Amino acid sequence: MMDTDDLKTFLFQLVPPESITPYLSHPSLAPALYFCAFNIAWTYIVGEVTNNFSQVDRIWTFLPVIYTAWFTFWPKLQGGDVNPRAAVMFGLQVVWMLRLSYNTFRRGLFSLSDEDYRWPIFRATQPKLIVKLFHFLFVALIQNILLMGLGLPAYWTLHQPPSSLISSDYALILVTLSLLLLEFTADNQQYAYQSFKHFTVTSSFRWPGARQVWTEADKRRGFVSRGLWAWARHPNFACEQLFWFVQNLFPLLGPSSAHQPLPTNVPYPLTPILPSLCLSILFVASTAYTESITLGKYREGYKAYQGRVGKFAPSYTLMKGVWLSVTGRKKRVESLVWGDVIEGKKQK
């Protein structure tokens, strides 16, 4: 069995301290850590006082951009030049922020009294001690650390010499803008459906890509299953995860620092993608919890939706369709997901 000394030796061989120390000693990092600690403290305290766990949700749209701006313009504060690659990342994140802020605003989550519908359910179904620990460890601590982590791609550029953009940068810009457009469309489709479901109104203005004609069968089904949502159960979350992975590719594909080259004998060059990996873990976990709530509401219909449409990847949707065809269940399942059969009854 591996003892403490063996474990320490293994970790030092995997990631030698000398290979990462230069990257952790940059003077721009300490202020960001202090700011992160401040956000952890106030979001937890306010959440406890108000019994509203959506404090981090309200600042989610801004914090990654704030951290990225700090690291991007740090050289300028020191009399140097801004890395063009970091400036591009900052600009793309501003577009991301505007999209998410718009969606958050129209959903009412910027209201200080509003709270994500999942938190009251969580508090009502879990022991009080678990709720308290979860609020501090996950909601306040982990989420704020993660939001700071999303600004680290710009931090890595501080260890690279400022250089002109190359072909990979332009390709990543195109991919990023495409992801933001898809995510914006998915948000609009969901908002249009929820507006129809709750108010049965058709807005005089609807964004392109969100102009589906909803039916009473769609309304009774209870969840959106058309448009991009016919290809993935959470197309917006899929695009969100990919957006941050692409952000990490900017420094990874950019030129390394001539003074502190990244080691090639350890997996450290992949360290910049760690925040994106953590974000994906968060999305997988939160999506599983969200779907458990939705499944409890709509049962047969949502179970059929899960069986027909992939969670994040359209490729799984195609494979599920083939499997249902082979097993002879495709027509029945698709009637529940897209047709006029709701919870086993045909709508007239």
pLDDT at 175 over 70: yes
Residues 181 and 68 in one domain: no
Residue 15 lies in a domain: no
Q: What is the pLDDT of residue 218?
A: 86
- CA–chain centroid gap for 53, Å, is 18
Q: What is the pLDDT of residue 346?
A: 46
Residues 280 and 172 in one domain: yes
Q: 267 is written with which tokens? A: 């997996």
- DSSP string covering 203-226: -S---TT------HHHHHH-S--S
- What is the rounded CA–CA span in Å between residue 31 and residue 22? 17
End-to-end, the C-alpha distance of the chain in Å comes to 67
Which residue among 162, 187, 206 closes a domain? 162
Residues 191 and 226 in one domain: yes
Phi, psi at 161, each rounded to 5°: -70, 140
Residue 312 lies in a domain: no
Residues 226 and 198 in one domain: yes
Residue 70 lies in a domain: yes
pLDDT higher at 107 or 318: 318
Q: What is the pLDDT of residue 101?
A: 94
Rounded to two decimals, what is the model's pTM?
0.85
Residue 262 lies in a domain: yes
- What is the rounded CA–CA span in Å between residue 70 and residue 82? 11
Per cent of the chain over pLDDT 70 is: 84
Looking at the chain, how many residues does it have? Answer: 348
Residue 192 lies in a domain: yes
Which residue among 143, 162, 181 closes a domain? 162
Q: Into how many domains does the chain fold?
A: 2
Residues 175 and 111 in one domain: no
Residues 119 and 176 in one domain: no
Averaged pLDDT, 82-108:
94
Split at pLDDT 50, 70, 90, the class of 206 is: confident
- What is the rounded CA–CA span in Å between residue 234 and residue 227? 12
Q: What is the pLDDT of residues 35-81, one digit of tens each?
A: 999 999 999 999 999 999 999 999 999 999 999 999 999 999 988 88
Residue 66 lies in a domain: yes
Q: What is the pLDDT of residues 207-258, one digit of tens each?
A: 777 777 888 888 888 899 999 999 999 999 999 999 999 999 998 887 664 3
Range of the domain at 103: 22-162
Q: 61 is written with which tokens? A: 């749209």
Which residue among 138, 162, 186 closes a domain? 162
Residues 188 and 149 in one domain: no
Residue 86 lies in a domain: yes
Is residue 182 within 8 A of residue 105, CB to CB? The reply is no
Q: What is the pLDDT of residues 302-332, one digit of tens each?
A: 999 999 999 999 999 999 999 999 999 999 9
Residues 124 and 209 in one domain: no
Residues 139 and 175 in one domain: no
